[in-house]
Structure 1
């Protein structure tokens, strides 16, 4: 008897906070998965619009597919954790309420997931391409994992290649086996943005098998002024960025905690990206308090793992570029950031 036969193929967790204007597009795209999907809409204390009412309407229209959780505001991390606790699908993905999934890519993905489940040994992490949709400019950028992972077959960390610039495994690319997330002890802080970095980082040592399906599944909307990736918003939330960085530094003792040297190298590189981003946003803020936060970040890394400080500070090009010493060095670091921003269109 297959232990998964009575479970939905996948749970989609949709955190919603005052998102009545755009949540319908997101949910409609998920419903194309039909009876394979469970959709958990988490109304995270919305008060400024009809998000709560819309969520209940969706549940009433599709009671076999959609569940609604109403909770007091806990932030993105609190909403994701509520969805994870309630999920019954074999797999789980988080879909932000202003994003959506491509219908054809979702059909291919669900077919693949069903095949894994029918085998009785579903893979731990499935990865797909995602697309930055710069809606206001009408442009898009597809993030693919060519060269970093084998395509269309099950593989292990030992078979991964070099992860190039922009090829980090972000939340938009991941479909985790739900039990892997639970076994990892994942906990996301409440009232904190950027917890998606914790979501994709902490469970990685529990992932033993992977599969890369090279379809453009997740469509990531970029363009709203209040969006968390908007630069001015990121500067205002610098304390939250630093909180996420601190949690990630403490989460896994590298390399031993990763359990695999190639995975440890990837995790060190990913952590380096987060540390570099934290440094840059301190520089963008430019206040004495922000520069003090940057110094405290490095003091914390040193106190947690001195070897990690050396690996990040001397062997990670992004970290080096974001932490050039002195006033001139800070100016050069910001110039390099602006160049990368234009090249990769990440905000």
Structure 2
């Protein structure tokens, strides 16, 4: 078998109930030549033990156990240090891939030059009921973007995040921000950095499955912190991009901060 082109990174914290289904969706891939690293962020449940069961039965899978809980951004950076493939893709430990996700992303990436750093697609949204059953609630559509400002205005988080390893390393990986130390919005901050220096590609296909459940990070109890970090990141990135626009925010009916408009700043006289 040739060397794999992609590594799947699965950051996990207290996800023993979901991790098995997540890993098995990787094992079902039509593209079988991959690596998978489960990053156990010092879980307090038996997430590590669940991961080890899959490691024992599949030599494509490994587990990286962190000595203390570091949060998503730092966990992903630890995983990124272990990536030896040209591409890697992030799979949240409570979500799952469609069977052809890796194949579709590799095919799309092969169509582009090195200035494309990310491939994304569409996602099915599933809500977990009290009895554990899943009810489909809709579809999240990805897209390609004409420029960085169009991406800035786009609200949802792109999935899957199939990334070019070298470009991610060029922008410093997942940043440890001063407000949450990389525990929130680490993925959006990375993508805002990437879209400034590269392009994103889009596959109009259902490649990802999002599970909504009671222990999601994006829940009402964490809303204020998400609003704070999003406001900080978005305001900062506009300044880093040349400080040409001022952002107008609004609170979404569900209580989340979103971007309403970008207003050009008056040019200063020479």
Q: Does 1:68 align with 2:63?
A: yes
The question of whether the paired residues in 1 share the 8 Å contact of 2:175 and 2:182 is answered with no
Q: Rg bigger for which structure?
A: 1
Q: Does 1:197 align with 2:194?
A: no
The question of whether the paired residues in 2 share the 8 Å contact of 1:186 and 1:203 is answered with no
What do residues 140-173 of structure 1 show as CA deviations (whole Å, max 9, x unaligned)?
221224xx54xxxxxx846x996798x5462424
Aligned to 2:204: 214
Query: What is the deviation of 1:20?
Result: 1.0
Distance in structure 1 (CA, Å) of the matches to 2:41 and 2:149? 39
Structural mapping, 1:57-206, within 5 Å: 57-63=53-59, 65-71=60-66, 72-113=68-109, 115-116=110-111, 123-136=116-129, 138-145=135-142, 149=144, 157=146, 167-168=154-155, 170-189=157-176, 190=181, 192-206=183-197
- Over 3 Å counting, the alpha-carbon distance change for 1:179 and 1:7 in structure 2 is farther
What do residues 187-232 of structure 1 show as CA deviations (whole Å, max 9, x unaligned)?
3324623322213222222214x422111111111122x211222x
Paired residue for 2:236, among 250, 275, 284? 250
Matched length: 247
Distance in structure 1 (CA, Å) of the matches to 2:5 and 2:77? 19
Query: What is the deviation of 1:135?
Result: 3.0
What do residues 229-275 of structure 1 show as CA deviations (whole Å, max 9, x unaligned)?
222x224xx3465245424433463543xxxxxxxxxxxxxxxxxxx
Query: What is the deviation of 1:62?
Result: 1.4
Aligned to 2:25: 29
Distance in structure 2 (CA, Å) of the matches to 1:193 and 1:161? 22
Query: What is the deviation of 1:41?
Result: 0.5
Higher RCO, Cα 8 Å, sep 6+ = 2
Between structures 1 and 2, the one with greater helix share: 1
Query: What is the deviation of 1:128?
Result: 0.9
Q: Does 1:337 align with 2:262?
A: no
Between structures 1 and 2, the one with greater strand share: 2
Q: Does 1:234 align with 2:225?
A: no
1:192 alignment partner, SS class: coil
Aligned-residue CA RMSD (Å): 3.3
- Over 3 Å counting, the alpha-carbon distance change for 1:141 and 1:98 in structure 2 is same
2:228 alignment partner, SS class: helix
Distance in structure 1 (CA, Å) of the matches to 2:202 and 2:174? 26
Distance in structure 1 (CA, Å) of the matches to 2:225 and 2:120? 30
Q: TM-score, normalised by structure 1?
A: 0.61
Query: What is the deviation of 1:44?
Result: 0.5
Distance in structure 1 (CA, Å) of the matches to 2:207 and 2:146? 23
2:64 alignment partner, SS class: strand
Q: Note the residue ranges of structure 2 that are not aligned, 5 or more in a row.
A: 258-270
Paired residue for 2:14, among 9, 18, 22? 18
